Amino acid sequence: MKQYRVLIDCGDKKGLVYKVSKLFFDLELNILSNHEFVDADNNRFFMRTVIEGDIEASKLSSTLNSELDPDVNIQIVLPVKKNIVLMVTKESHCLGDILIRYEAGELDANIIAVVSNYDLLKPLVQKFNIPYFTVSHNDLSREEHEAKVLDCLSQFKDIDYIVLAKYMRILTPSFVEAYRTKLINIHHSFLPSFIGANPYKQAHERGVKIIGATAHFVTNDLDEGPIISQDVINVQHDHSWKDMQRAGRDVEKITLSRALKLALEDRIFIEGNKTIIF
Amino acid sequence: MKQYRVLIDCGDKKGLVYKVSKLFFDLELNILSNHEFVDADNNRFFMRTVIEGDIEASKLSSTLNSELDPDVNIQIVLPVKKNIVLMVTKESHCLGDILIRYEAGELDANIIAVVSNYDLLKPLVQKFNIPYFTVSHNDLSREEHEAKVLDCLSQFKDIDYIVLAKYMRILTPSFVEAYRTKLINIHHSFLPSFIGANPYKQAHERGVKIIGATAHFVTNDLDEGPIISQDVINVQHDHSWKDMQRAGRDVEKITLSRALKLALEDRIFIEGNKTIIF
Amino acid sequence: MKQYRVLIDCGDKKGLVYKVSKLFFDLELNILSNHEFVDADNNRFFMRTVIEGDIEASKLSSTLNSELDPDVNIQIVLPVKKNIVLMVTKESHCLGDILIRYEAGELDANIIAVVSNYDLLKPLVQKFNIPYFTVSHNDLSREEHEAKVLDCLSQFKDIDYIVLAKYMRILTPSFVEAYRTKLINIHHSFLPSFIGANPYKQAHERGVKIIGATAHFVTNDLDEGPIISQDVINVQHDHSWKDMQRAGRDVEKITLSRALKLALEDRIFIEGNKTIIF
Amino acid sequence: MKQYRVLIDCGDKKGLVYKVSKLFFDLELNILSNHEFVDADNNRFFMRTVIEGDIEASKLSSTLNSELDPDVNIQIVLPVKKNIVLMVTKESHCLGDILIRYEAGELDANIIAVVSNYDLLKPLVQKFNIPYFTVSHNDLSREEHEAKVLDCLSQFKDIDYIVLAKYMRILTPSFVEAYRTKLINIHHSFLPSFIGANPYKQAHERGVKIIGATAHFVTNDLDEGPIISQDVINVQHDHSWKDMQRAGRDVEKITLSRALKLALEDRIFIEGNKTIIF
């Protein structure tokens, strides 16, 4: 018995659930869980089904592709560990949260490398026997630095996700293009509030009573892209911006790890600048 | 074009989604939204589908009933206003929250009566032109009082839900039996904490840092039964139990109104002592 | 025995707590509660003390004013009901929430009037025997309309707070100036996200996973000014913007009522664009 | 210039704030922050003041002790790192969260040892160069095992706190007595719900919609004692109890670390079975 995650999206039309579930039925597959959503605004259909049965992936794939219309996007994913790369700068809370989950076997992923523009977090990463690559940006233009980072990443094939776990440099469009839909970032504010530098200072100056964090796919720059998860925490007048930053770190790490879990379980569809999450 | 909510539950077996969605497809119905859940622990299948099409309810019902196995529970519900009765004692926050929504046309329900063991809230209810029945419990045994309440309720046919909006008397099993699955209560604690009398005093004595409220169907007594929704709020050492009560009222009313909305939209399945909520 | 709320703020210097508490001690007053905060960034001191004793307000005031430095701001407030005016447009949820609290005697305020640019909510308000004034903006410039509103308000002396309970018109600087520090607004977003028109549509388009509301004093325009309280609620991909609006209404009303309660209890200091809340 | 945290508690009487603040004023000390609370139910006064000045701790102590009544409890604490011991069993999430904060220099503490009844977490702890002691309970009575643990702990003088970071064994009263007010436990439920074994299974069976965690001082057994902090997370019908456990782990670790931070900053007073937290 094998298990598969089948992800389908296409323009909405009558009978989609029927057609797909008929195929599963004819192939004698068990449906373990099934979620659908019709985005009526954009007339699009999304479906995530976890199935179980005695069938090869290739056979499942060829059957679905031959029986469903050609405009239907079909992804068949085995529930195996994905390959992820972490990118960090100086702060360790998001990185550390992921490492501890990794060590506990809680993460459905292989961390194949950590890449940073500083070597500050190397001792922490090496404790967990994960390769750490320092690609300093000193004396380099943004483009030169990114070229080096891309070069470093190019040694790893089959990267499923690159997790920007407090990587504090803005990526160029070409970098984003190279890893389209694979870049997950944690932004240290409740987007779209406080886009840009030092959101905690901005939040402190604005006198907000709640701060938050946003995990999202990266599209054009660090603060845009489809939001995966958000969370918040209460603050008060006696929080300095550094207190806010400290409090915010807990929200950041939990929010990023939650988004990563959703990605590793293939629960996220990207539609334009939004996500559908099952 | 008519719209229906189809609720199905039965023992789980292969092909259920296929069979139901085939029937909808053959009847040329549009699926507007669809949710399923398989409770693997108890091997039960739940499905809520909102469909749209040019079909009479009787035809839809007869088709589903003739084509699906006899052990399949099928409910076909028209998205029309339900009839509800509110029961209250002295506190007005939950009642008032429902009345304001009702006045705004936000509630998919007709409030056909408010029943209370005091006449304290009569002036408030009468502002909204809703019949108010005082059934005093003075000098009556619990059974005698309930007989009078049941008598009062018996004049209303087709009660869909009775909302215990801070009705502070314990119901007997025979009352509960008479309105099985129709009684929604708000309990002023985060169940199962602080079952019984004066939960805020209990919470204050225990020194908790969070208090909550629980909306649930009533089974045997006021504090049991399948939970529909819960919510919480932070408290501190400087909250007296009366402060906790005051803070708790906001949580109570929002939690009850949220549960009522779920019920009015037929989004709740009851399974044993739990709910499945789509 | 009388009770007073003493609010003090001034530039910070050594011995302030000592000096004030000495005065209270010498006057044989009991301190029921006491909160202080030093804003180190701006070198300002804030103190709110609730005292009890056998003393007239005038004597208390003259003693504090003569013994403390002239740059110390001193407010002595009796814990009596404040006079408030509500301003609304078409939506009733915030208004209704305040009316129900008012009816229950939960609000430490007299609602002396409701002013609206529509007569839509007149029936609701009149149920509670509160004067309702419709000041239509039809065929009027913003300035002309506001002049009429100001004229309407001018009949009420001693307005402590004007609560903009979903008043959907932007106020001019001269209106804001006329009721400086007395205008409390509810903004239907988690500020500073989604400033401007229809924040729920903006939130829906941005694909956020949390929406919120912000109660704040009004300074220059409806979306600025010192924040008093904020709260949030989770949303999902299947929330249309109207669903978000519906869900947001509960957050709006609770957030506004919470802010109003803080104001009525004299718990808020305004410092620049921020609040200190005890 | 030195900084001290002065903690005072005693029976409430008039003039306490005045007397203490006068002493600070006479000693020419700056008050950096000051919090008081009067528990009117029990007629007790609590005060936490952070002061700064050119004074030795011994002089400050002798002055306060000689000038204040003998029934006043006075603690003068230097803001230095405290010594903590962690006790764990098999789960690493709470331990890991503390270790990552420790490595980042975020924790105002020296972790002088980790003690466990298993050697499972030894590799993780040793990465951080912290001594790990396995005291197996195999073939031992509870009393015999605890005697060995106490023996192990006895080599460390000046333990400020023992953090039970998912230590899954019940402590005997004599152990609790030996480290009275120094034992901080994380309980994997929103106490007082689900006291006892496997709270997540209990929560799943009860069908709750919110789960939580509670950090508390240990008095008689693992699930009692003054609560320091609590937090919650939403769950749904499709959460198995293992899903609840997974989701709960994030709440547990954040709640425990938050409680530990409060303890390390001397922000907690214990009063009977409650805490006052400044």
Query: What was the pLDDT predicted at D189?
Result: 84
Query: What was the pLDDT predicted at A222?
Result: 59
Q: Tell me the residues of chain B between 6 and 35 that have a Cβ less than 8 Å away from chain C.
A: 33
A167 touches chain B (CB under 8 A): no
Q: What's the rounded Cα separation, in Å, for the pair D120 and D107? A: 24
Across the range B107-136, mean pLDDT stands at 98
CB C97 within 8 A of CB C253: yes
For chain A, the structural domain boundaries read 2-77, 82-277
Exposed/middle/buried for D269, CB within 10 Å: 0-12, 13-18, 19+? buried
- Give me the percent of chain C exceeding a pLDDT of 90: 90
Residue C168: closest CA among C130, C117, C110, C107? C117
* pLDDT band for position A224 (cuts 50, 70, 90): confident
A252 touches chain D (CB under 8 A): no
Is residue B139 flagged as an active site residue?
Answer: no
Query: What was the pLDDT predicted at A221?
Result: 61
Q: What is the pLDDT of residues A18-55, one digit of tens each?
A: 999 999 999 999 999 999 999 999 999 999 999 999 99
B257 touches chain C (CB under 8 A): yes
D193 touches chain B (CB under 8 A): yes
Minimum mean pLDDT range among C81-85, D133-137, D198-202: D198-202
* pLDDT band for position A207 (cuts 50, 70, 90): very high
| C109-116 vs D44-53, strand pairing mode | unpaired
Phi-psi region of B149 (alpha: psi -120 to 50; beta: other; left: phi over 0): alpha
Query: What was the pLDDT predicted at C221?
Result: 61
Across the range A141-145, mean pLDDT stands at 95
Q: What's the rounded Cα separation, in Å, for the pair D266 and D161? A: 11
Across the range B41-66, mean pLDDT stands at 96
Q: What is the pLDDT of residues C250-267, one digit of tens each?
A: 999 999 999 999 999 999
Q: What's the rounded Cα separation, in Å, for the pair D193 and B193? A: 5
- Residue written as tokens 């000098």? B139
Across the range C175-199, mean pLDDT stands at 88
Q: What is the pLDDT of residues A95-134, one digit of tens each?
A: 999 999 999 999 999 999 999 999 999 999 999 999 999 9
Q: Which two tokens stand for residue B88?
A: 């209250």
- Give me the percent of chain A exceeding a pLDDT of 70: 99
Cα B192 from chain centroid? 18
- pLDDT, averaged across chain C: 95
Nearest to A25 among B15, B35, B38 (CB): B15
Query: What was the pLDDT predicted at D224?
Result: 80
Tell me the whole-structure pTM to 2 decimals: 0.96
φ/ψ (deg, to 5) at A195: -65, 145
Residue B221 has pLDDT above 80, yes or no: no
* Pick among B43, B230, B237, B278 to test the D interface (most D CBs inside 10 A): B237
B187-196, D5-14, D221-230, range with greatest mean pLDDT: D5-14
D182-201: buried (b, 16+ CB within 10 Å) or exposed (e) per residue?
bbbbbbbbbbbbbeeeebbe
Query: What was the pLDDT predicted at D221?
Result: 61
- Give me the percent of chain C exceeding a pLDDT of 70: 99
ipTM of the complex: 0.94
Q: What is the pLDDT of residues C229-250, one digit of tens each?
A: 999 999 999 999 999 999 999 9
Query: What was the pLDDT predicted at C222?
Result: 59
Residue C166: closest CA among C86, C262, C58? C86
Residue B153: closest CA among B190, B105, B191, B114? B114
Q: What's the rounded Cα separation, in Å, for the pair B220 and B226? A: 11
Spatial CB neighbours of B71, under 8 Å, sequence gap ≥ 6: B10, B11
Residue C196 has pLDDT above 80, yes or no: no
| Cα pseudo-dihedral A222, A225, A228, A229, rounded to 10 | 50
The topology under which CATH files domain A2-77 is: Alpha-Beta Plaits (3.30.70)
Q: Tell me the residues of chain A between 80 and 109 that have a Cβ less than 8 Å away from chain D.
A: 91-93, 96-97, 99-101, 103-104, 106
φ/ψ (deg, to 5) at D149: -65, -45
D2-77 and D82-277 in the same fold: no
Phi-psi region of C28 (alpha: psi -120 to 50; beta: other; left: phi over 0): left
| Cα pseudo-dihedral D256, D260, D261, D266, rounded to 10 | 140
Residue D84: closest CA among D4, D164, D174? D164
Q: What's the rounded Cα separation, in Å, for the pair B190 and B187? A: 8
Across the range C115-126, mean pLDDT stands at 98
Q: What's the rounded Cα separation, in Å, for the pair A217 and A180? A: 9
Query: What was the pLDDT predicted at A191?
Result: 77
φ/ψ (deg, to 5) at B255: -65, -40
* pLDDT band for position B188 (cuts 50, 70, 90): confident
- Give me the percent of chain B exceeding a pLDDT of 90: 90
Across the range B240-261, mean pLDDT stands at 96
Q: Is omega for the bond preceding D192 within 30 degrees of 0, making it cis? A: yes
- Residue written as tokens 């329900």? B109
* Pick among C25, C26, C41 to test the D interface (most D CBs inside 10 A): C25
Residue A148: closest CA among A124, A117, A114, A126? A117
- pLDDT, averaged across chain B: 95
The topology under which CATH files domain C82-277 is: Rossmann fold (3.40.50)
Q: What's the rounded Cα separation, in Å, for the pair B198 and B245? A: 9
Minimum mean pLDDT range among A221-225, A244-248, D172-176: A221-225
